[in-house]
Structure 1
Amino acid sequence: MNIDNNQLLRFTTAGSVDDGKSTLIGRLLYDSKSIFQDQINAVENSSKQKGLESIDLAMFTDGLRDEREQGITIDVAYRYFTTPKRKFIIADTPGHIQYTRNMVTGASTANVALILIDARHGVIEQTRRHAFIASLLNIPHIIVCVNKMDLVDYDEQVYNTIVKDFEEFSSKMLTRDITFIPMSALNGDNVVHRSEHMNWYPAAPLLYTLETLHISSDLNKLDLRFPVQTVLRPQLQGFEDYRGYAGRLSSGVVRVGDEITALPSGFTSKIASINVGEQEVKEAFAPMSVAITLQDDIDIARGDMIVRSNNQPELSQEFDVMVCWLNEKPSQPRKKYKIMHANNEQVCMIRQKVYKLDIETLKREETTEEFHMNEIGRMTFKTSKALMIDTYRENRITGSVILVDEQTHETVAAGMIV
């Protein structure tokens, strides 16, 4: 298989408390020789100070002192490493149930989710919660790492039971590409190298799986969505008549001569020119940042969206959103929030709370109650002006929203339009 060694794979790790996420990442970095010698020396010294006989691999990711002293990971830690076959960004997310919001943050841009399971405990509520969130966020690949196999004597039957339990649960999810790997992150079994203790497992170790996994771009390549970030009117000699629109393409391809519509006004025109920096090009595609000009002088402002005339998003002031509540203060009825969508900001109210999800059973519970931190469910939003929306399944960027408290400016919720 030919793998583009410049291809970037983003993956997130999730699991219950003390399932070994940080140790697994440390093992990946250490055994793949992706850590500088001075970092290794520092961790070796810290490990000796803690009275450990061997290096504490988790310290390569648990960078904050108070985290290490508590023995838990409390925030999303990002790490970067490269092998001859691929580049990687890792988001190591917390395991505690009260940090579900951090898992949503870390997983929101991932291509792959690594779900860790302690072989001694099997599939538990947090396993289901994290797997469901990965599916909800439309992560295309899940790798289930059955860790700590050394503590169950590398028993194949224990592994098979966990695989069966997870498959029964995951049949209700949307993610279909699920891989299972038995391992011991502490001892290095099936992480970077094949395990000598589990000859009954015929497939590849984790790193090879990550290196050879086929990933397609998560960007929508069909639907042109160009949220305008700023209007360019340079007051320079020779540019008196120039009016350009700058921003980053959320999805699709734009070409000179394309017929477009500006939303929400509905005015139409054609693309006159496209610039990437100082270079003029004939076409551009997501996620490039560009400046475009139109053949007609029409009224366009920040927050507007340029789309193809024959392929437009929904223009709506009221829509349903799957929400993860992020804030310590619960949702409030009739309270005004600021909703942020692409480059657009509007005033918003929660018009209706439709249901909450029971992560244990995936059952929907109809509710009118407040949403509290880390709760997930469906709400109906009503905005002061129409937004140009797609569903999250169609377009991660134009299908996602952030809710902000107008008084405190705190982010209170992240949502996926359904």
Structure 2
Amino acid sequence: MSDLPAVDVHSAAAEQAAEIATARRDIARIATAGSVDDGKSTLIGRLLFDSKAVFEDQYAAIERASRGDYVDLALLTDGLRAEREQGITIDVAYRYFSTPRRTFVLADTPGHVQYTRNMVTGASTADLAIVLVDARKGILEQSRRHAYLAALLRVPHLVVAVNKMDLVDWSQEVFEAIRDEFRAFAARLHVPDLTVVPVSALRGDNVVTRSDAAPWYDGPSLLEHLESVEVAGDANLTDVRFPVQYVIRPQSDAFHDYRGYAGTVASGVLRPGDAVAVLPSGRTTTIAGIDGPRGPVDVAVPPMSVTVRLADDLDVSRGDMLCGPDGGPEATQDLDALVCWMAEEPLRPRQRLAVKHTTRSVRAMVKEVVHRLDVNTLDHEEEAGELGLNDIGRVRLRTTQPLFVDDYTHNRATGRFILVDEATNATVGAGMLVPH
């Protein structure tokens, strides 16, 4: 027996991932949600403005377009003419800003029921979701709907921003009532991490800096929490999944022996010398080297984009997947998934669609619509038979070729797919794989 101490490989990988994330300024993806007029666009505008991410000419333009005593910061995100005219958010607006500690990709998603598909799109890749609640109205149906969707999409962190606290005189009782009610609801959804913050997006209280208006609140401001929440450790660092996106074979004499496989690390940790298996062939080899944008790297973790060189010349092409020699994904032609339907024409049995999963595209047929989900009551409508626009339900599909999949609860990257209408090439659905 060796006298060397045992090494926790997963912990070591997590620490290394955190170090790499810090070196790369740790990108955090955030989705906002909530009922109509809860102030989502204003909150994002406030974050952009107070974090110095707004140019002077942009601010001057929205200052001229604003009405009332305050600058309408919602105009920074509501870019469509229909959004400005109606005073609502329709499309998903992505905004980017940075602080000294972190870079943020922020998605402003619509609050209307008919735009549920947009909310699913914005939250599907989020590390954290912010659900806004109007302090005057309390938790509404849409607040519950968006919290449920965030839980369904397995967003690891959920923040409830109780907005417009200035309109209830910063009442501690109002805040605590909303906080306790939301915590009880979140417990039913098995939300792993919930934080509740009282804010006033219009005035900026507790958004970037803590406010004296709520002396009874001793937690962080919203931005302080966003900067400190741990997102690097949320990635699956155990199961190696590397979908091949492109084969790099330079037609140059200087690189005539070079053959690399480019893609994004979906999960796990890749290092030179590691043994890997290639799917669908099942052949095994080792990693000869890993090249990043700036040259060779010693380790690759999600979501790094790299080129992997293998020790042996194997038949590997786009749509194939590198994984660990043990504990690989399931290869199956039968998909059982929760699908959010995004098209006007309903999803029905016997329908034929294209499935895009990681970098692999196959054709599929809908075998069965098992049930439709009522996201307000969490009940299953067993006799639904079809899914309409913005509906979510359990669907079984059969593909023409095997896909290499994991359950969505286990691996978000390899547990999701999109459905494409082959006639129009439009994305008509998003799916999350569930256990059979």
Is the shorter-chain TM-score for this pair beyond 0.5, marking a shared fold? yes
**Map of 2:305 onto structure 1:** 289
Q: Secondary structure at the match of 1:354?
A: strand
Equivalent residues, number: 414
**Map of 2:65 onto structure 1:** 46
Shift of 1:161: 2.0
**Map of 2:38 onto structure 1:** 19
Q: Does 1:209 align with 2:262?
A: no
Q: Secondary structure at the match of 1:302?
A: coil
Cα distance in 1 for residues equivalent to 2:60 and 2:389: 40
Letter in 2 for 1:252: G
Shift of 1:283: 4.5
Cα distance in 1 for residues equivalent to 2:218 and 2:291: 52
Cα distance in 1 for residues equivalent to 2:361 and 2:354: 7
Q: Does 1:116 align with 2:132?
A: yes
Shift of 1:249: 2.3
**Map of 1:198 onto structure 2:** 214
Cα distance in 2 for residues equivalent to 1:182 and 1:35: 24
Any conservation in 1 of the 2:161–2:198 contact (CA below 8 Å)? yes
Any conservation in 2 of the 1:353–1:367 contact (CA below 8 Å)? no
Cα distance in 2 for residues equivalent to 1:67 and 1:156: 34
Any conservation in 1 of the 2:31–2:130 contact (CA below 8 Å)? yes
Cα distance per residue 1:93-151 (max 9 Å; x no partner): 11111111111111122221110111222111101110011111111111111112222
Query: Pick from 91, 99, 106: which aligns with 1:90?
Result: 106
Structure 1 unaligned regions, length at least 5? none
**Map of 1:370 onto structure 2:** 386
Which has the higher mean CA deviation after the structures are superposed, 307-316 or 153-162? 153-162
Q: 1:230 to 1:216 in 2, by over 3 A?
A: closer
**Map of 1:351 onto structure 2:** 367
Q: Does 1:151 align with 2:170?
A: no
Equivalences for 1:132-281 in 2 at 5 Å?
132-237=148-253, 243-276=259-292, 279-281=295-297
Shift of 1:242: 5.0
Any conservation in 1 of the 2:32–2:40 contact (CA below 8 Å)? yes
**Map of 1:332 onto structure 2:** 348
Q: 1:205 to 1:290 in 2, by over 3 A?
A: closer
The TM-score, its normalising length taken from structure 2, stands at: 0.88
Letter in 1 for 2:47: L
Shift of 1:218: 3.9
Q: Secondary structure at the match of 1:254?
A: coil
Q: 1:288 to 1:113 in 2, by over 3 A?
A: closer
Letter in 1 for 2:161: C
**Map of 1:302 onto structure 2:** 318
Shift of 1:34: 2.9
Q: Does 1:78 align with 2:94?
A: yes
Cα distance in 1 for residues equivalent to 2:173 and 2:299: 56
Shift of 1:278: 8.1
Query: Pick from 26, 29, 42: which aligns with 1:10?
Result: 29
Structure 2 unaligned regions, length at least 5? 1-18
Q: Does 1:404 align with 2:423?
A: no
Q: 1:292 to 1:184 in 2, by over 3 A?
A: closer
Q: 1:230 to 1:120 in 2, by over 3 A?
A: same
Shift of 1:306: 1.7
Cα distance per residue 1:284-308 (max 9 Å; x no partner): 3333333334344333222111212
CA RMSD of superposed structures (Å): 2.3
Q: 1:273 to 1:163 in 2, by over 3 A?
A: closer
Letter in 2 for 1:197: A
Letter in 1 for 2:284: T
Cα distance in 1 for residues equivalent to 2:263 and 2:62: 43
Shift of 1:195: 3.2
Letter in 2 for 1:336: R
Cα distance in 1 for residues equivalent to 2:169 and 2:107: 30
Q: Secondary structure at the match of 1:38?
A: helix
Letter in 1 for 2:81: R
Q: Does 1:379 align with 2:395?
A: yes
Q: 1:414 to 1:194 in 2, by over 3 A?
A: same
Shift of 1:92: 0.7
Cα distance in 1 for residues equivalent to 2:99 and 2:298: 35
Any conservation in 2 of the 1:148–1:183 contact (CA below 8 Å)? yes
Any conservation in 2 of the 1:183–1:190 contact (CA below 8 Å)? yes
Q: 1:36 to 1:278 in 2, by over 3 A?
A: closer
Any conservation in 1 of the 2:370–2:385 contact (CA below 8 Å)? no
Q: Secondary structure at the match of 2:111?
A: coil
Which has the higher mean CA deviation after the structures are superposed, 6-15 or 340-349? 6-15
Q: Does 1:35 align with 2:54?
A: yes
Shift of 1:233: 4.0
Letter in 2 for 1:394: H
Shift of 1:312: 0.8
Q: 1:383 to 1:117 in 2, by over 3 A?
A: same
Q: Secondary structure at the match of 1:356?
A: strand
Percent of residue pairs identical: 52
Q: Secondary structure at the match of 1:53?
A: coil
